[in-house]
Structure 1
Amino acid sequence: MCTSDESNWWIRILTPEYVATTQELAKLPGKTKRPLCHIMGTQALRLNQALLVYGVSYISFIPNELLEMIFVETVKATIRADEDYSSSCALTRLRLRSRPELLLTSVSQRWRAVALGMPLLWTEIRLFLRQNVDLVNLYLTRSQGQLLDMRFIGNHCDFHSQGLPEFDPDYLRISHIILLHVHVCRRLEVHGAFPFPKLLDGLKRIKAPMLEELMVHYPLNIPNSRHILFTEGLPSLTSVELGNVSSISSDLFLSADRLTVLTLNGLWVSGLSPENFSSLLSHLTSLTHLTLIGEPVDYVRSMDIPLVEIPLLQTMVVKPGPNISRTYLPTLFRTIRAPVLRELALDFHATTSSRDIQSLVDKLKRGAPPFPSVRLLTLCSRSMAYDGWHALAHAFSGVTTLSVSKCIMNQLMGFLSCAGRRDAFPNLRTLLFDDVQFEWSLLIQLLQIREAAGMPVREVKMRGFKKHAQSELVGKLVASLATYTPIVIGWT
């Protein structure tokens, strides 16, 4: 028969000390946390078994602080998954997906109370045509004045109105919501298949002092830039050139000292003029991340291309579309100056052929390095010719980390191993591969060559490595790699 102390062990571990330990555990780094989690997990299992006898669920004893952390991580995971959607059909499905924060409030009265007491849980505002505006107002109320992340997806593939979408009452209501709350907006994304004249005209007259991230996806079927953000919004900036500021507007919609992330997505026929593009960037003095998708700047119809320096830019992502003009990439690299740029990602997956990037390759081979400060170069492409690698090695000789997609991993290693290019990327220390399916013999040969040349690769990372790490073949290959590089890390 159990003693009183033995039968009440599960009551003792629900003391304030246990709760405090649990809270401190949540703050520890992963490697330190794992053994402690195992010990506490064993106790929790015993507790759960005991509580089942009394008809009580162990989860009801989780401290509110830990429950809040679980809620936050659940919502974050959903937001990250949503950001992977890009096609219009996927955006349509997105509006039908259940919101995790709403589901959490329906589990129990306690969960509902915890969720409603977390204003940050309700700051992700999604806006669609044919949307229940009452739901939007519910989120705005529950966010309690916290900074908002607003996403207006103006896709209308199910839109059957006879009139223009921008004059639909739903559109007008959504535009009003954005304009009414943009002063407390931290992140704004405007994405749609039609122009937003009322919204954009309103933004010209309203300040967004708290805005840190802006994503503008241009309507792809509009044959001019008359309604595109900033094109008419900066009338006094169109004549501004670098080094010759004649009239700087103090009435910018954006906060020059706060906006850090800018994404522009569109085609040149509906894109910004080079003058407006350069003027915009030159006034965003806090910008650290710039993403250009498709061909959002109309370099095609311009002769005088103004230069622009972005003093704090650290990361730039370039994803040209399938039908880019041959002047776009060379002109972009020639007109942007980024003295502290550290990460450059070139995603050529959407390009139709090597012709689309050949003009850039030719420019890089002959010209001065466009961004000498780059240390991490990411290249995603279906194929890369020898002269392409040669051009990249010339233009980005200072990179220490090179990340490539799976289609071109063997091509990269072949280029670096050939007799004439063994000194390419002399500072290279880390290789990042998108997969483990490549010619391992090429990698071993490359590591041998680099070691002998006094330019050793010190780190190799492979996506999905842990999934294959237990196989005998991969184990032997990893052992071989350890001869030439101290660290081999797999991505999960």
Structure 2
Amino acid sequence: MSVFNPQLDPYSAQAQNNHGTPQEKIDGLKEIIKSTVTAMLTTRSADGQFHSRAMNPVTPDSDTDLTLTFIANNASHKFEEIQNDSHVNVSFLNPTTTSWASFSGRAKIIEDHEVVKTKWSSTTSAWFGDLKDGIHKGDVNDPRVAIIQVIPDEIRYWTATKGKLGRAVDIGISAATGKTAAPGELCTITKDEIQLTQVIVSLQPAFPPRTIDPQTYSDSGSEEEALGVCQVMSYTTEATSTPFNMGSTGVSPSKSTNSGSTICSIPTEILSSIFEFGKEMDPESFRYASFEGFDVQRDRFIPFENLVSQICVHFHNVAVGTPKLWTSIQIDRSTSAEYVTTYIGRSRSCLLDLRLDLMQQDVQPDDQRLEAILGAILPNSYRWCSLSLSYNRECANQPTVMRICNCLAPALQHLSIAVDDVDEADATIVNSDVNTPHIFRGGTPTLQFIRLRGLAMHLFRPQLNAVVTLHLDQTRSVPLDYSTFRSIITCSPCLTHLSIYGDMISPQPWPGEADPIYLPALESLRISGVSGEIYAGILLAVNAPKMDSLILKELQEHDLDSFWDAMDLSRYTSLRYLSFCDFDVSVFTYERFVEVFREITAFSSFCSTIVESPLVRFLLEAPISEGTPWPELESLSFPFDTDDDDDDLTMELVEQLVGIGRDPSLKLLFKIVVEDGPQPQFQSDQVVFFPKWDPWPTKSMPFDADDVLFP
């Protein structure tokens, strides 16, 4: 194999992208495969000739599974060629975008019809036909039906970063100037990265959805237990074609523990890191689904740490010895005290992430289960890193929230409290001095994220002087005094992100500029009101010279009239990102936004598609003589409705918006979010598709299971 020389191959050197994470590489690869469907499988015959044929792979078992599976006729030449040389290549090409992918690996033949049944579809029989001999009937039991699984050693792919016209221009300019064209990116998924994903994929199919006790298989598990479970794993890896197939060596699992071909030969430190990576791949929306009433959905989800610790004794021992696997503890009405104590013990000295979803009707007087759980978590409050506590009713005779929140929590960084009701409340503390905390009075010096929902912002306020991200969710119609509200959001000089849900002080009038609120560090603001006065009230009162992002939810046509009347163009001069959600405003209101917020570079509509948006109509129809609206605009983001046949109209609007007198050096990018259904095929390098909206307040924000009141 020749050594790559970047000076002699400047195209590959320029196009190579070595910065993507394994998941980003996989996502890019999957996009190419989805857009092509048909692959070319290349095999090598005994006389050295290469033969290729078109084949359609079966849908993979998971989004991270990189094994390619084909159903084929074992009487065809390709089976003979695979038996001669298992090295194969599978390639994909999208002729429209010219994006391609190449899998280099080994092919494996599976003729177990129990496995075939898991991949079979009724349309597949058309490729076999019924020979009318009672045996070769073209169904799933036909002896000709077999599976070819390609386990890749390396995957390379090239994805176009420019459209057809852009590629032609790039190539033409490069040819004329002697420079190297690079209208796309080359990516390589290495063998190590492939094996890492295969380890993760191999674990899930071994167990049907059920509840797993993390204490199963003690550290002193017997050799018989290890043999029995490893035999199950051997069957599972055979079915999923992982590189760690114990059964493929012909050696019994109990005698192959020290063999280089077994998964047990992976060094403990590496296996522990793989497990930590696997936990990070857990879909957190399922892990915490019960908090929003999706109990059935969550019951079908098995946390990774529970699953991996029951594969075999070796896995169990490594998992138990990996403290970071056991730091996330969810407590609800079905959680046992043993479950909690097991997690706390295995997490050792690591910081803990706790979530408690408690219902008053599930908490009985002298509840021994709850007492045992609290007896386990409260002494470890010094290890709490995040605490999410949801309680529908705080009882006077059993004040659970206050009991939990009266601990010392010096390491607490993230706090989310939701309390719907209380039996008794001291009304004098609602508007008391915000510098005197109601909870965690011992101090929370590292607390930077706070969410107070329901009555929590009235009765359960913590120390606020270091908060960076603050959510105030008024889900109960209990108003605050304006002075109290003002004190809450100005308590921390570090407040950078503020989310406000509800009317807050209604029915009191907003004083606006008469009593200003100075927020020197504020960068992003979200507002969702009920009566409407809060929008103008907040925007007129707040003085935030650094604010560059504003999200408005459920804004109606006249909610900002008093703000427009002020027409102060010196306010919010740093604002660059504007987003609307569940709104109903006219072209006139959009015109006001353009006049007041002149430096917008990015706009997002969480509800209206590009075809429905009044903003698009305004941008296209605005008189050129009055200047281009938002001349620095760089991106427009809209949802895409897969049920509407608006592809052509969408592309027409995109083309019109690109040419409306903007600085030609600015590239107007259209971000289209497709949350459900197939991705449309738009031939434009100015349209980018995303599976979901960016998290708030920043893209790097980890999953926030409680952020359900905004999109």
Same fold (TM over 0.5): yes
**Aligned CA distance change for structure 1 residues 376 and 440 (closer, same or farther; 3 Å):** same
1:414 aligned onto 2:414 = no
Residues 68 and 109 of structure 1: is their aligned pair in 2 closer, same or farther, counting only changes over 3 Å? same
The answer to whether structure 1 residue 232 and structure 2 residue 429 are counterparts is: yes
Inter-partner Cα distance in structure 2 for 1:29 and 1:58: 25
Q: Hey, what does 1:373 align to over in structure 2?
A: 574
| Mapped contact 1:262–1:290 kept (Cα < 8 A) | yes
Q: Which residue of 2 aligns with 1:52?
A: 248
Cα distance in 2 between the residues matched to 1:299 and 1:223: 24
CA change 1:218–1:54 in 2 (3 A) is same
Residue of structure 1 aligned with 2:386, choices 187, 194, 202? 187
Aligned-residue offset at 1:445:
0.8
1:458 aligns with 2:458: no
Whether the 8 Å contact between 2:406 and 2:441 is mirrored in structure 1 is no
Q: Render the CA deviation track for 1:405-457: whole Å, top value 9, x for unaligned.
A: 25242313212111248732232112223227652211211111144x66844
Question: Which 5+ residue runs of structure 2 have no aligned equivalent?
Answer: 1-17, 27-153, 157-187, 199-240, 448-463, 692-711
Q: Partner of 2:282: helix, strand, or coil?
A: helix
How many residues are paired up?
A: 429
Per the alignment, residue 525 of structure 2 pairs with 316
Match of 2:350 among 146, 152, 165: 146
Normalising to structure 1: TM-score of the pair?
0.70
Contact 1:51-1:58 at 8 Å conserved across structures = no
Instruction: For 1:312, give the aligned amino acid.
Output: A
CA contact (8 A) 1:129 1:170 kept: no
Cα drift, residue 238 of structure 1: 7.8
Tell me if 1:107 matches 2:308.
Answer: no
AA partner of residue 290 (structure 1)? L
Query: Match for 1:389 among 582, 590, 593?
Result: 590
Task: Tell me how far 1:106 sits from its aligned partner.
Answer: 0.8
1:298-343 CA distance string (max 9 Å, x none): 34347768654343333333344xxx22323333334444333333
Q: Distance in 2 between matches of 1:104 and 1:266?
A: 41
Superposed CA RMSD: 4.6
In 2, the alpha carbon distance for the partners of 1:374 and 1:362 equals 20
- For residues 441-480 of structure 1, the aligned pairs below 5 Å read 441-451=652-662, 456-464=666-674, 471=681, 474-475=682-683, 478=684
Q: Secondary structure at the match of 1:462?
A: strand
Q: Distance in 2 between matches of 1:175 and 1:338?
A: 42
- Structure 1: how far apart are the matches of 2:312 and 2:155? 29
Structure 1: distance between partners of 2:298 and 2:479? 26
Alignment partners' CA distance in 1, 2:368 and 2:505: 32
Judge conservation of contact 2:395–2:422 (CA < 8 Å) in 1.
Answer: no
Larger-gyration structure (1/2): 2
Structure with bigger strand share is: 2
Q: How does 1:256-335 map to 2 (within 5 A)?
A: 259-270=467-478, 272-295=480-503, 297-301=504-508, 307-320=516-529, 324-335=530-541
Say if 1:341 and 1:374, in contact at 8 Å, map to a contact too.
Answer: yes
Q: Structure 1: any 5+ residue segments left out of the alignment? A: 1-23, 240-248, 349-355
Distance 1:31 1:201, change over 3 A: closer
CA change 1:135–1:37 in 2 (3 A) is same
Matched AA of 2:622: A
Structure (1/2) with the larger helix percentage:
1
Percentage of identical aligned residues:
18
Give the drift of 1:172: 6.2
Cα deviation 1:11-46 (Å, max 9, x = unaligned) = xxxxxxxxxxxxx99978956996453556899989
Matched, 1:98 2:302: yes
Instruction: Write the distance in 2 (CA, Å) between the matches of 1:168 and 1:273.
Output: 38
| Equivalent-residue separation in structure 2 for 1:422 and 1:86 (angstroms) | 52
Q: What secondary structure is seen at the aligned counterpart in 2 of 1:317?
A: strand
* Partner Cα separation in structure 2 for residue 196 and residue 333 of structure 1: 38
Distance 1:50 1:85, change over 3 A: closer
Query: Which has the higher mean CA deviation after the structures are superposed, 48-57 or 421-430?
Result: 48-57
Q: Distance in 2 between matches of 1:60 and 1:25?
A: 31
The answer (yes or no) to whether the contact 1:364–1:395 under 8 Å persists in 2 is no
